[in-house]
Structure 1
Amino acid sequence: MERTLPVFVTYWMRWPLILAAVLMLCATGCSQQQGRDIARQFSDGKPDELFQTSVDRMATLGMHDNLQSLYLLMSKLYLRNPSQWRQSGYPDAVSAARQVRQAIEERRPLPALGARRDLEALSYSLSAEFHGDRVGAFIYAIGSMLVTAHGGRTEFYVTDSINPQFVSNAARNIEKATWLLSQRQDANGVLLLFSNEISEEASNLSFAVEFGKIVARLDLLTQMLDERYRRVALNYAQSLLLMNFLPVQ
């Protein structure tokens, strides 16, 4: 006589099969979703990203964000110091800011600064000898310094190299410039440019916060660059230690 298993035993014996089927469906769905995500990310990317390492991409995005922070700071400084854009010769703050932005990105000199760039322009823009649009000169000086510290480029690829020491130096220079901006006064004891404000009536530290973001991005890039070059040296040392031949292709 054929024996039949109890119903509850048959029920529990089916669970491993059901679980396996569910896992297979999930795995298939996940792989398909991952494939769609990868395809979407690839289609959203630019062709030139194929010639960028992860550090190159990070440096490019960091430069873009730092310049955008500078342009935001320029707009805020013009709002707090409206007399400055009026000395630029342009009809409004937007036009004055546009000219500064183009001069930074196109590596052109700013007429108010003559041939001065980078650190020379930064010192001059915060000096008593400077007469003109101090906001535009100050932002241009920092922007040109950033571009110079990154090898004169705003986009980076595998054939480019960035000196991490120069990037770190740029971060320290911005910290000093931020302090000078809040301290430097004219002969009458009036601040050359109004930025952060702490008083009984109001508190505005947005300038320091935005400058801090730029410094943080530069310091992070410095660490990434140091690690990349350190890994190159370590890989070479390991190949010598293990007596492995180095790949040629």
Structure 2
Amino acid sequence: MRFLIILSILMLSSGCMDQNAKPFEVKNLAKSDIDMVADINLKTWRKLTRDLTIKLYKRNPRELRKVPGMTIERRLDQLFPIARLETGFAELNHLDGAEAIPLAFSDEFQGDRVFALMAGITGMLDRAYNGKKEIFLLDELDHQKLYHSARNLESAAWHLNNRRDPQGNLYLLSNGIAGNGVSNYSYERILGKLIGIQDLMAEVIADKTNRTINRVVHGAASMTFFPI
């Protein structure tokens, strides 16, 4: 009975809201404010990583050509499926998540480095939210996983800007100054936003569960990434 009363009040109040407001959804009754914040973060990291994937392929078209017939659209379908495959991708030696990121900066790896990097980042973030597409009251997030994913993103950003092949060329082109002298740091901004939302979510979950984040010293230049 109490549920029906609350539902009726919410439905009535939703009719008085601004026409531009989001419509009331029954499923939101099973969400706390923190769950809704987590949902926003889930949508945000997916959008940011999609944008980053597209930008990296446009800056590094040679990587896409390593797989005959491959397109950016097909890569996006692989990176953002309805359900993430836990076994990873065959072309990445079935690595996924943080374990796949080092491939993008490995001398031995001859495959699509953009795909290795983004499969690693998206898989890692997916695991940080336990593979969920939405968060509800009974779902539990791990503040330490969220914190470690932020540190891994910092490392990935450092490698993207600094790691070079034996010939002295960057493995992947990203930030830089164009021929007309205009600087482009949009890649860095996207990664900075991803790091920020992960750190913020780690703080929120730690506060909610009354736990302390185990902050560790982790050199950005290290090829060792925290398992998520």
Shorter-chain TM-score above 0.5: yes
Q: Which residue of 1 aligns with 2:68?
A: 89
1:155 is paired with a residue whose SS is: coil
For normalisation by structure 1, the TM-score amounts to: 0.72
Structure 1 equivalent of residue 122 of structure 2: 143
Within the alignment, does 1:65 sit opposite 2:44 as a pair?
A: yes
Report the CA distance between 1:130 and its aligned residue: 1.3
Alignment match, 1:220: 200
Aligned partner of 1:153: which letter? Answer: K
Ranges in structure 1 where 5+ consecutive residues have no aligned partner: 1-31, 232-249
**Whole-angstrom CA distance in 2 between matches of 1:98 and 1:155:** 19
From 208, 219, 229, the counterpart of 2:209: 229
Aligned 8 A contact 2:103 2:113 in 1:
no
How far did residue 206 of structure 1 move?
0.3
Contact 2:86/2:96 (<8 A) preserved? no
Residues 34-183 of structure 1: pairs in structure 2 closer than 5 A: 36-37=16-17, 41=21, 44-102=23-81, 105=84, 107=86, 109-183=88-162
Structure-1 separation of matches of 2:161 and 2:135:
33
Equivalent pairs, count: 199
Q: Which has the higher helix share?
A: 1
Matched to 2:198, the amino acid is: L
Alignment equivalent of 2:167, drawn from 188, 204, 214:
188
Deviations 1:8-49 (A, max 9, x none): xxxxxxxxxxxxxxxxxxxxxxxx99961189857x143322
Specify the code of the residue in structure 2 equivalent to 1:209. R
The offset of 1:108, in angstroms, is: 5.7
Identity percentage of aligned residues: 28
Alpha-carbon distance between aligned partners in 2 of 1:46 and 1:166, rounded to the nearest angstrom: 29
8 Å Cα contact 2:165/2:171 also seen in 1: yes
**Counterpart residue identity of residue 125, structure 1:** A
Cα–Cα, structure 1 residues 201 and 93, in superposed 2: closer, same or farther, change >3 Å?
Answer: same
Structure 1 pair 114/104, CA: closer, same or farther in 2 (3 Å)? farther
Gaps (5+ residues) in structure 2? Answer: 1-11, 212-228
Larger-gyration structure (1/2): 1
Retained in 2: the 8 A contact 1:171–1:219? yes
Kept after mapping to 2: 8 A contact 1:100/1:110: no
- Please say if 1:202 is aligned against 2:173: no
